[in-house]
Structure 1
Amino acid sequence: MAHSTTPALADDALAVLRDLTGRPDATFHPGQFEAIEALVARHERALVVQRTGWGKSAVYFIAALLQRRAGSGPALIVSPLLALMRDQVAAAERAGVRAAAINSANVTEWRAIEQHLADDDVDVLFVSPERLVNPRFRAEQLPTLVERCGLLVIDEAHCISDWGHDFRPDYRRIRDLITELPAGVPVLATTATANERVVADVAEQMAAGGHEVLTLRGALARESLRLGVLELGTPARRLAWLAEHLDALPGSGIVYCLTVSAAEDAAALLAKAGHRVLPYTGRTDAAEREAAEEALKRNEVKALVATSALGMGFDKPDLGFVVHLGAPSSPVAYYQQVGRAGRATPSADVLLLPGVEDRDIWHWFATNAMPTQAKADAVLGALAEADRPLSLAALEARVDIRRGPLELLLKVLAVDGAVEAVQGGWVGTGRPWTYDAERYERVAAARVAEQEAMLAYQRLGTDRAAPGEQCRMAFLTAELDDPHAAPCGRCDTCAGPWYPTDVTVPVLESARETLEHVGVPVAPRALWPTGLDTLGVLADGEPLKGKIPPGEQVAEGRVVARLTDLGWGGRLRELFASDAEGNPVDAEVPPELGRAVLRVLAGWEWEQRPVAVAWVPSLGRPRLVDTLATGVASAGRLELLGPLELSPTAEPLRGSTNSAYRVRDLWGRFSVPPTMAERLASLEGPVLLVDDLVDSRWTMTVAGRLLRQAGADSVLPLALASVG
């Protein structure tokens, strides 16, 4: 196929750029036209590593449109986030590029989009990486798209690499996609957050089939950003600072938190202080997320208080600030998030308020991210034994893995070819699979090194910093292996603190009062998990399934707080920490926590006051549970029924597991002693059922069912903490 000569191509590309930007004087940044030329004139494979706001999307929009004008098929752009797709489709249309997207948020539009593709009315098609493993999409759409593809774009390409800070197993499918492309189809990968190790990994995958890969790497420093770190210690002081100084930050922005609970707590506190903010987390409804994004873009709110759910792809060029309540676990991830600010403004403020709880949170996420040999063997064994495809729910009932980690593991196994998603569920392929322990150990070690680097970033400018380590921007870009890393002259270590450091007493007291709030509701379980019959869990000889009868359900319960809460979370994590050998540490309920429990009871708006207390016997923390239950009974002058009876064969419960296996492990573990049953039959009123920690909610469900069956009018679960 003939292509334009370079001079003509330069003129055509510049004309499209000016349409895209709406500026008749627009010119290319260094490297932009070079990438376009490589793709359109030479049909090469290019990896572009450039800072956020450089204009990577302009490269692929212009290349896609020029390829279409030369007679090629539509560009296929693999894009990771729905927010990114919405913004990119809108940007494409402004440039006269006919764009469409296929993802989980627009299922009702798929048929119309398929018709537009058939009519050759689409220039650019965005797909989420998850679509690449969808059986129907792979069978019905992908072959035609690959056959006609005029350009393949991999956006946020660091997701391909498990060395990257945001590795996504679905992205590994792109390796196969690249090898299936017809000869001469150019490939573009773009990212702003890749160090040399990630760049090499991505380039190696792009080179599939023996192709050369052109890497275009620019300086990553962002001249508009003014970086700072303010150590304030307690969550109350950090939130008080933010409540007092949020309005002084320029424009509108994002306040990032490490956990969903922290984001929700912070948003509630800031709203109570009179700030216009909205939460944005993985628990936020999809429609509410989109509305929150639009509110921020229109400057109708001062900030979104968000988790990493608001990350790659959110596009607000005039975002004035990014504040972190707690540090991400790596400088690379931090750079990616702060890169949302100051893309089209001369200056933007970036401030990190690190927390003492950060390391615990990093550890929790890290230990839940990696597959293990035992879990992989369990999944492969269950699929091999099945005579039909297994749905996620059916597979969950056969392996001792929770839903989230199970989905992640299936994606890893699918990428390695050991399992496959088909109509009706998952099947094993029979291909051998070997757990690459050495590789995962290297990745885990890299994660630890990244955490240490993040702590070093926080120490810059102090007497604990390494010699020569001062500038924050230079440090971040050096962590990304940017050869252009140099002092910025703007950050707090180069030019001195630019932010106030004071927190006034009234605001601090108000923050403390809000964070000291106790009494988080615990919703009751209403349905038994599927698959209990396959695990031998029966009730009176019948399979246990469907709705839990109302007469066997517990009522809504309470805990003092969640382990991830900003207020009580830290103290509760210390209480439930294990010793050096990994064993539970048992002790009496601390007086401060005991008073908090009484505040929970005082604020509990139950329909009827409880009349008695029973508790779940504990192998790991018997003193803690016993003193909690007896203390509550004494303070409330409630009848002390004692503990449920523990089976003599009971062993310590394993950590977090999926619902079906947890019910199996609990079934037959407890019984109601005869003396307790006699008392329950004569009591009129609710029974408090006490435990130390609520995780899956199945312990309270199973134990509470026994109390209901023994005659309790209702059961009110009460514990010190909940997980998540």
Structure 2
Amino acid sequence: MHEVGPALVFLPCHLPPASSPTACRGAGQGWANRRVGAVRQTRVMSELRDRALHHLRALTGRPEAEFHPGQFEAIEALVADHRRALVVQRTGWGKSAVYFISALLLREQAGRARPSLIVSPLLSLMRDQVSAAERAGVRAASVNSTNPEEFEAIGEQLRAGELDVLLVSPERLTNERFRAEQLPFLLRNAGMLVIDEAHCISDWGHDFRPDYRRIRDLIMELPAGFPVLATTATANSRVVDDVAEQLAAGLADGQQVFTLRGPLARDSLRLGVLRLDSNRHRLGWLLTHLDELPGSGIIYALTVSAAEDTARTLAAAGLDVRAYTGRSDLAERQQAEQDLKDNKVKALVATSALGMGFDKPDLGFVVHLGAPGSPVAYYQQVGRAGRATDSADVILLPGHEDRDIWRWFATSSMPTERTAGAVLDALTEESPLSVPALEARVDIKRSKLDLLLKVLAVDGAVVKVSGGWARTAEEWVYDAERYDRIARAREAEQQAMLDYENTDGCRMEFLARQLDDPHATTCERCDNCTRAAGRPAWLPTQVPAGAGEQAAAALDQPGVVIDPRGQWPPGLDRFGIEAKGRIRTEQAAAPGRVLARLSDLGWGTPLRELFTTDEAGVPVDAEVPPALAKGCLQVLAGWDWDQRPVAVVAMPSRSRPQLVRSLAAGLARAGNLVDLGDLDLVGELPPSGSSGNSAWRVGSVWRAFAAGSELAARLPNAPGPVLLVDDYIDSRWTMTVAAKVLREAGASAVLPFALAQRG
């Protein structure tokens, strides 16, 4: 029978019906014909299996390789039955083998190249997939943002029938030229569509991507009998149902999606959670125990700053680690990946930029400095380890700041009704508009604007054309219920992650149940199972005092350079501002400093505590704490300025005037600098913490500041640079405009300084 649901699919057994003594002769002949057909079908399936096994052994390089349970059944569904299939199996099970082998068999079946189209979300994943395909004799190429110079040659290979597999990023599906010129040819000539990391299709998936929502439309365009495969290692029942429903789009009544779900627990993984009371102790634990962990592995951090701080501290202690973040250059990331695969480094300290598809079967450990926002996302990351080893250690070191970071990520990924309406109104008034032109019309940061345009494009409300984005005739209504439902689901996932940290039961069973795995059972290996069985603890908990002090010394190094803005954003004329191009030298700020970023592991914690609000959401204002004031003096002492500042000017603050004034006065006293007072606030400031795009930010502060008569009289007499002091720096535009005011009033140079930088 077919069991379609959370367990493995059991394929049909073709058994003959029970014989009857009263059966007529014609019925007997019919049974004979069916029996001959069954024998022929069995022979065909045997030949298909033999060919599939041949390709499997070529792919793995192992002449004794055999299929995992379910692998050939998935291949058979695609190649023999041309069905739509969803495969949910743990990392390392061999999902890529299913689609590579199917691609080869479909080529053999057709007698000519019918390239399979694989939608794949990550560049690192594409690189690994192309390499794996070549090992199996699969002719593969990829089309993504890094190789536009190869597009024409790849197109010629496709038309010449020289490719078996084309990997494309989901962003290609929103590219109008690709959809108009290449996609129709692919759909006419392709042998199969593959959607890798298919949980991205679902709003409920832990890694929602708007570009993936195009795939449902793509599936609707496919002819009957066109095989489609969706694969993922991280999907609970809700995601599975959602993806299966989208795969079924356009199927005739009675046709079903072939769904294959296997057990998700990993026998090789040894899970543990260790709660330490501060970042210095978490980092001290790594300094003490990293070399004891098996093989090489990954240390995940929740933010770019945390990853860079950790990598710098560990490397300074002589540990061979590299930072890997979205801020790293592409070439650096590729080299870091290869160094880890070749065991040339002990660990990469990475953000989620190193995630889906990274393929190192012998990865020995995964450590998390801070927890991801859901058990499903956590399972996806720890699944990188122990794929081809008997044992791998997975350790979570939760941080006090985790929940704040979860909230920030949760609120940054979905559109709001206000922002979506502003974009649509602007494009209704004038189309097409480039993204910079849109920025001048809507108060949205570039990254959020790009994401919002993708969502609106998938919904059919906007379209990318020559010259930018245009409004379509499609009516668009903000689906508040949908986004509220997703927000509630995210909150439930965050609570589940906290439950994972605090459970006294089996941790692997907990993760498997979060993925609705019916095979979930105790692992007998995690820290809780070990403790319950009375066996010696495997997870070391001690942090020697020396390691904690070494970590503290690294984290307590204050000072982050703030580069000055060099160019005015486009579109300022819409605000009545006559400024464009490069900022004139006589108006520009010099490079500045902050004590730390709010996301830093060291100073970030006391700074986040400082920038709190009361129950009504009003910022708490107080004088600068002594420890932070001392850190600021250390920053000034280590500042390699061309000329020492001689005076201090404070920014006018609507939310924390006491904090800013006390900081400016304290720096003036300690540094024997002249306190020139405050800039005057003569206009409205944007709300505290607002993060509009550059044009709006400049427009909102352009006329906000002035040098009062006393300040204007004293500035030209200052025999050196002025230190411009504020509480925090976000976009840098407030400081840029204020520096311009001071320079025009006679300051020879302006050095921006603040307690914190957001980010």
Q: Same fold (TM over 0.5)?
A: yes
Q: Does 1:113 align with 2:113?
A: no
Name the amino acid aligned to 2:671.
Answer: G
Q: Cα–Cα, structure 1 residues 47 and 721, in superposed 2: closer, same or farther, change >3 Å? A: same
Q: Secondary structure at the match of 2:349?
A: strand
Indicate the residue corresponding to 2:737 in structure 1.
702
Counterpart CA distance in 1 for 2:340 and 2:185 is 39
Indicate the residue corresponding to 1:527 in structure 2.
567
Name the amino acid aligned to 1:453.
Answer: A
CA deviation after TM superposition for structure 1 residue 535, in Å: 2.7
Indicate the residue corresponding to 2:360 in structure 1.
316
Q: Give yes or no for contact 1:619–1:652 (8 Å, CA) kept in 2.
A: no
1:380-433, Cα deviation, whole Å (9 max, x unpaired): 0111111x4222221112110001111111111111111111222111112111
Name the amino acid aligned to 1:707.
Answer: L
Name the amino acid aligned to 1:340.
Answer: R
Equivalent residue for 1:252, pick from 285, 290, 296: 296
Q: Give yes or no for contact 2:685–2:701 (8 Å, CA) kept in 1.
A: no
Name the amino acid aligned to 1:187.
Answer: V
1:278-304, Cα deviation, whole Å (9 max, x unpaired): 000010001100000000000000000
Indicate the residue corresponding to 1:559 in structure 2.
594
Q: Does 1:617 align with 2:641?
A: no
Alignment of 1:254-653 (within 5 A): 254-386=298-430, 388-461=431-504, 470-496=505-531, 497-536=537-576, 538=577, 543-647=578-682, 652-653=687-688
Q: Secondary structure at the match of 2:260?
A: strand
Counterpart CA distance in 2 for 1:449 and 1:98 is 44
Q: Secondary structure at the match of 2:564?
A: coil
Counterpart CA distance in 2 for 1:423 and 1:216 is 43
Counterpart CA distance in 1 for 2:738 and 2:237 is 54
Name the amino acid aligned to 1:437.
Answer: A
Q: Give yes or no for contact 2:462–2:472 (8 Å, CA) kept in 1.
A: yes
Counterpart CA distance in 2 for 1:389 and 1:6 is 55
Counterpart CA distance in 2 for 1:62 and 1:149 is 15
Indicate the residue corresponding to 2:44 in structure 1.
5
CA deviation after TM superposition for structure 1 residue 651, in Å: 6.3
CA deviation after TM superposition for structure 1 residue 654, in Å: 6.0
1:7-56, Cα deviation, whole Å (9 max, x unpaired): 11111111111111111111111110110000001110000000000000
1:264-283, Cα deviation, whole Å (9 max, x unpaired): 00000000110110000010
Q: Secondary structure at the match of 2:294?
A: coil
CA deviation after TM superposition for structure 1 residue 648, in Å: 5.5
Range 133-142 or range 560-569, more displaced: 133-142
Tell me which structure has the larger Cα radius of gyration: 2
Equivalent residue for 1:662, pick from 689, 692, 697: 697
Q: Give yes or no for contact 1:163–1:198 (8 Å, CA) kept in 2.
A: yes
Indicate the residue corresponding to 2:184 in structure 1.
143
Name the amino acid aligned to 1:628.
Answer: L
Indicate the residue corresponding to 2:238 in structure 1.
197
Counterpart CA distance in 2 for 1:649 and 1:113 is 55
Aligned residue-pair number:
709
Counterpart CA distance in 2 for 1:259 and 1:606 is 29
Q: Does 1:37 align with 2:81?
A: no
Q: Does 1:167 align with 2:183?
A: no
Counterpart CA distance in 1 for 2:684 and 2:62 is 76
Indicate the residue corresponding to 1:465 in structure 2.
none
Q: Give yes or no for contact 1:5–1:41 (8 Å, CA) kept in 2.
A: no
Counterpart CA distance in 2 for 1:65 and 1:184 is 18
Counterpart CA distance in 2 for 1:517 and 1:654 is 26
Q: Give yes or no for contact 2:686–2:701 (8 Å, CA) kept in 1.
A: no
Equivalent residue for 2:120, pick from 65, 79, 88: 79
Indicate the residue corresponding to 1:215 in structure 2.
259
Name the amino acid aligned to 1:513.
Answer: A
Counterpart CA distance in 2 for 1:481 and 1:653 is 43
Counterpart CA distance in 2 for 1:180 and 1:534 is 43
Q: Cα–Cα, structure 1 residues 563 and 650, in superposed 2: closer, same or farther, change >3 Å? A: closer
Counterpart CA distance in 2 for 1:432 and 1:580 is 40
Name the amino acid aligned to 2:553.
Answer: E
Query: How does the TM-score come out when normalised to structure 2?
Result: 0.92
Alignment of 1:150-161 (within 5 A): 150-161=191-202
Indicate the residue corresponding to 1:61 in structure 2.
100
Name the amino acid aligned to 2:542.
Answer: D
Q: Secondary structure at the match of 1:390?
A: coil
CA deviation after TM superposition for structure 1 residue 584, in Å: 1.1
Equivalent residue for 1:687, pick from 722, 742, 757: 722
Range 617-626 or range 646-655, more displaced: 646-655
Aligned Cα root-mean-square deviation (Å): 1.2
Indicate the residue corresponding to 1:466 in structure 2.
none
Counterpart CA distance in 1 for 2:153 and 2:411 is 43
Indicate the residue corresponding to 1:185 in structure 2.
226
Q: Give yes or no for contact 1:155–1:189 (8 Å, CA) kept in 2.
A: yes
Indicate the residue corresponding to 1:467 in structure 2.
none
Counterpart CA distance in 1 for 2:746 and 2:409 is 42
CA deviation after TM superposition for structure 1 residue 243, in Å: 0.9
Q: Give yes or no for contact 2:725–2:754 (8 Å, CA) kept in 1.
A: yes
Indicate the residue corresponding to 2:24 in structure 1.
none
Counterpart CA distance in 2 for 1:581 and 1:189 is 47
Query: How does the TM-score come out when normalised to structure 1?
Result: 0.97
Counterpart CA distance in 2 for 1:654 and 1:449 is 27
Equivalent residue for 2:713, pick from 672, 678, 681: 678
Q: Secondary structure at the match of 2:155?
A: helix
Q: Cα–Cα, structure 1 residues 624 and 177, in superposed 2: closer, same or farther, change >3 Å? A: same
Indicate the residue corresponding to 1:125 in structure 2.
166
Equivalent residue for 1:233, pick from 261, 267, 277: 277
Counterpart CA distance in 2 for 1:389 and 1:346 is 57
Q: Secondary structure at the match of 2:619?
A: coil
Counterpart CA distance in 2 for 1:654 and 1:513 is 30
Q: Give yes or no for contact 1:103–1:131 (8 Å, CA) kept in 2.
A: yes
